[in-house]
């Protein structure tokens, strides 16, 4: 009888421990008023058939240090619907290690560039780029997207990722930087989207020369033109006709190439 009681207690302790751990790791279910986000319409900005995403940013946390409390997941990019079903690019520091992780509801396998390869140090500006190209095939199981990831101008990963189903259209989607429900522990210096999968030489030029627009650029925002409409509405005015909407808390700070956005009022 004593042994049975001890076994029951052990199970209860393990269950409570797992529940507490899950609560510590889980993001807030509601937006935090101390955090913000930037959103653009995806139509005319991004096409899942092919393209390039680039971001110049600074993580405000040590990607090498294993977190003892809540895990850090900072959204560098989200493209999808309002119910979080879409393409996600996160700079994170979780119990398995730091990484730039990419996942989506329409590709089969998540992908990551690990901190062990990046060897990024705290308080440094970085450039991350991701190119993609859809490969069609009469056989549905052979359709895939060819991804290439670059960090600070160097190629780090190639991945042919099979599709789960049909390639979605992004015309009704939203493009988002940051997420008030997660840790916005990063400074966003600039972001650029392109209509083609850029070459390794072009990515290297972006890293060395900084954010610039050209004929293949669909959106480039360096956050130098901010228009305050009222207490609840702020626009960022990138090059071109597409405006970004900043909601929640934000702060303009000095970036590497001009202004940068800090989408949080917290001190890191």
Q: What percent of the chain has pLDDT over 90?
A: 72
Q: pLDDT class for 31, splitting at 50, 70, 90?
A: low
Count of the separate structural domains present in the chain: 1
Judge whether residue 16 has pLDDT over 60: no
Say what the pLDDT of residue 63 is: 94
Q: What is the pLDDT of residues 213-265, one digit of tens each?
A: 999 999 999 999 999 988 777 999 887 778 999 999 999 999 999 999 999 88
**Is residue 12 assigned to a domain?**
no
**Is residue 104 assigned to a domain?**
yes
- How many other CB atoms sit within 10 Å of the CB of residue 161? 19
Mean pLDDT for all residues in the chain: 87
Q: Are 197 and 48 in contact (CB under 8 A)?
A: no
Q: What is the pLDDT of residues 71-87, one digit of tens each?
A: 899 999 999 998 788 99
Q: Are 92 and 72 in contact (CB under 8 A)?
A: yes
**Is residue 82 assigned to a domain?**
yes
**Is residue 110 assigned to a domain?**
yes
Domain CATH code at residue 233: 2.60.120.200
Give the CA distances from residue 135 to residues 49, 92, 138, 139, in Å, rounded to whole numbers and listed in that order.
8, 29, 10, 11
**Is residue 166 assigned to a domain?**
yes
Q: Which domain holds residue 250?
A: 36-262
Average pLDDT over residues 134-143: 92
**Is residue 72 assigned to a domain?**
yes
**Is residue 4 assigned to a domain?**
no
**Is residue 22 assigned to a domain?**
no
Average pLDDT over residues 121-127: 94
């Amino acid at each position: 009888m004593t042994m049975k009681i001890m076994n029951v207690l052990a199970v209860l302790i393990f269950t409570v421990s797992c529940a507490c751990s899950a609560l510590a790791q889980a993001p807030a279910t509601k937006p935090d008023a101390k955090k913000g986000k930037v959103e653009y319409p995806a139509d005319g900005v991004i096409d899942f058939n092919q393209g390039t995403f680039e971001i110049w940013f600074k993580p405000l946390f040590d990607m090498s240090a294993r977190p003892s409390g809540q895990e850090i997941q900072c959204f560098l990019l989200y493209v999808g619907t309002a119910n979080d079903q879409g393409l996600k690019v996160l700079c994170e520091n979780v119990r398995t290690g730091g990484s730039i992780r990419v996942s989506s509801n329409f590709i089969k396998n998540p992908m990551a560039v690990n901190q062990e390869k990046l060897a990024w140090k705290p308080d440094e500006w970085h450039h991350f780029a991701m190119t993609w190209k859809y490969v069609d095939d009469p056989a549905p199981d052979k359709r895939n997207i060819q991804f290439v990831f670059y960090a600070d101008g160097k190629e780090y990963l190639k991945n042919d990722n099979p599709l789960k189903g049909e390639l979605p259209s992004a015309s009704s989607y939203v493009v988002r930087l940051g997420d008030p429900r997660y840790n916005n522990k990063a400074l966003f210096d600039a972001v650029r989207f392109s209509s083609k999968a850029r070459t390794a030489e072009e990515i290297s030029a972006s890293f060395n020369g900084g954010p610039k627009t050209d004929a293949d650029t669909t959106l480039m925002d360096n956050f130098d033109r901010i228009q305050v409409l009222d207490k609840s509405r702020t626009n960022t005015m990138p090059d071109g006709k597409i405006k970004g909407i900043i909601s929640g808390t934000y702060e303009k700070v000095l970036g590497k190439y001009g202004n940068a956005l800090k989408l949080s009022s917290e001190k890191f």
